[in-house]
Structures are given as structure tokens and as C-alpha cells.
Amino acid sequence: MKTKLYVLYGGKSVEHEVSLKTAVTVLHSIDEGRFEVYPIYITRDGLWCTPGQLSKEGLTVERLITRPAFHDPARSIGEILSGMMALPGPKVVLPLLHGSNGEDGTVQGLLELLNVPYVGNGVLSSALTLDKAMSKQVLAQAGIHQTEFQVCRFEEWRTDEAAVLRDVENSIGYPCYVKPASLGSSIGISRCTHRGELLTGIREGFSYDKKLVIEREVDGREIQVAVLGNERPLASLPGEFIHDHIFFDFESKYMDKRLTMSIPAKLADGLTQRIRELAILAYRAHGCEGLARVDFFLDEEGDLFLNEINALPGFTNFSMYPVMWERTDGTSYSELIEKLIGHAIERHTDKQTIQYTR
């Protein structure tokens, strides 16, 4: 019997479009000889629905989008769970949900309650890695070097804007970056070089989140590493995008056709291994399983700063994560998907030995 593979995509998140692009690529790569694929679309309003069986031929983002039968989240989720996901036989879930309401532990918690294997990080590691403020505390406790930062909460800002601005200028300075704590794909991030930009950046950031991380800029290169596995994770060769953007924002990442990848990144002797070791250290410190991409800054003096860890990195054919593995050990895109599914099933099987009664 084929394994039923439930692919979740879309989501109630500003990264909805990124998820759709990822889903198209993943669905094209799945071996239909081994898996019976059930796509599940989550609308921007959090409604669950399905376009039914999809053919790989001519598959596009537009074909992935469908209209829900119910306009209440509880009913729509219940319909999917009681119908499609209650089918007999072996099953595994592949969440391709970027950002809030999908990459933050919420969907992972639901899947834990359903007791089904799922690809990627668990509840805690998903929540930790998406929340940049909490992640930075974990990194600090693990002794991993990072740039100066401070956390700004909406209540502080609402109470005394001027005090927050002064505090940032005194402790962080310019240039600095304002980031919503729980978003990816550089959405809502502002590079600020003076108070006017800082004011605008903070206001924009709070439109996406009620907690911000404000960081000092590191003038240098951004180096990325792909990590894969559960108890014994492996780190890929480091890579970097070659570009001339001062700030690598959403448009730069997804719309600039001039971007090129350098894999492996050209690094000084010994630094490649050091970066791979730090990536695994950060992965384990967050309790990650399945996969993550770990991003570093390397300044002109050769100092290394861990920027952030991404528990569900971009996964198109042109995304850094799968390409880093292909250039590290020859793993193809479809083989990588199967490895991730294998790790999900392995983790789920191990969990079934846990005893819940005395």
C-alpha cells in the first residue's frame, strides 16, 4: 500500500505566496509510485480545503488555489480531518507553511494531537526558531556569537515612543535593522540609518507583530548552511548569494533574476568547518529535528555572527537549502524530500515507545 502524503500549503500568513511557490516545486518532485498525494490548501483566512488529486503536468500556483466548502475554520478543519486524513493506511504530513500559523508550532501541535508523522521541526523548536527574540536568548545561552540587539514590545512603544528611540540610538546605533520577531522572508524588516527611518521602521514592524527585534548592522557577507537530520544532524557545505543589495529584502530574494549562488562559499582555511560545527550547535540548542537553515554574517575582520535559524527555509529549485545539499553530497531535490519524510517517520516511530500511563 502506498503511503498517503498530505501536503499542507498556503496558510494564514504574509508568506502565503512563498508557500505556494514551494508547494508547486515539491509536488512536482514527489515519487507517485511510492506516495499517494493529497494536497491541502489553507486560505489566507485560515480555512482548510482541497483541490483534489492534481496532475504534475501543467501544475501551477493557480491550480493549487481552491475555494473552501465551509467558511468557519473549525468546520473546514474538521471536514479535512474526518474525511481525507482519516483514510486507512500509512500516512505522513508535509507542512509547507512559512511564517505564522504554520511554521510557529501551531500546526505542529495539531499534528501531535492527531499522532501522525510530519516532516520538519516539532512544536517547541518551531516556536523558538520563528520567534527571533526567544531564539537569540537560546543562542546566547549556548555561547554562540551574535550581533548586538534589543527587543521592543508594543506596550513599551505605545507608552513612550521617544524613550524607545533614545534607547535604540544609545545601545544599538545606526545603521540598524528593525525586524518583526516572528516573520521570515525579510517581510516587515527595515534598514535604518537615522531617526526618521527608525521611527518609520518600528511603526511598520508593529503592523506585522507585537514584538520587534532591533539589531546592529554587520557589514559583511551572509553565509548560509543547510542542516538535516534528527539525533545526528549533518551540515552542508556553506553557501552564499552573490548580489549587490545593501539590504537583501523580499524583492531582492524572490524577484532579482541576477542572483547567483556560490556553493561552497569561498572562505578562509578552517572557517568552513567552523561554520558547519556552529550550525549544528545552534540546531541542537533549539531542539531542531528534520531540517533548518542557519544563517551567519562574516565581517571584514573575519568575525562570525549567527544571524538566525530558519526551521522551514525556502524550498524551490532555486532556493539555497536544496541546492546546498546537491552540491555537498549529490542529493537531488526528490531524494531530499524522501530523506525528510524518512526522518519524520523515524521520529514518529521513536515517539511511540513513550509511556503515558504508570
Residues catalogued as catalytic: 15, 185, 319
- β-pairing verdict for 176-180 and 91-95: unpaired
Rounded Cα gap, residues 348 and 342, in angstroms? 10
- β-pairing verdict for 3-10 and 35-42: parallel
Query: Is 240 a known ligand-binding residue?
Result: no
Query: Is 310 a known ligand-binding residue?
Result: yes
Rounded Cα gap, residues 224 and 220, in angstroms? 13
Query: Is 170 a known ligand-binding residue?
Result: no
Joined together, the cell numbers standing for residue 117 give 508523522
| 3-class SS string, the chain | CCEEEEEEEECCCCCHHHHHHHHHHHHHHCCCCCEEEEEEEECCCCCEECCCCCCCCCCCHHHHCCCCCCCCHHHHHHHHHHCHHHCCCCEEEEECCCCCCCCCCHHHHHHHHHCCCECCCCHHHHHHHHCHHHHHHHHHHCCCCCCCEEEEEHHHHHHCHHHHHHHHHHHCCCCEEEEECCCCCCCCCEEECCHHHHHHHHHHHCCCCCEEEEEECCCEEEEEEEEEECCCCEECCCEEEECCCCCCCHHHHHHCCCCEEECCCCCCCCHHHHHHHHHHHHHHHCCCCEEEEEEEEEECCCCEEEEEEECCCCCCCCCHHHHHHHHHHCCCHHHHHHHHHHHHHHHHHHHCCCCCCC
Say if residues 108 and 100 touch (Cβ distance below 8 Å). no
Annotated binding site: 295, 308, 310
User: Which parts are annotated binding residues for Mg(2+)?
Assistant: 295, 308, 310
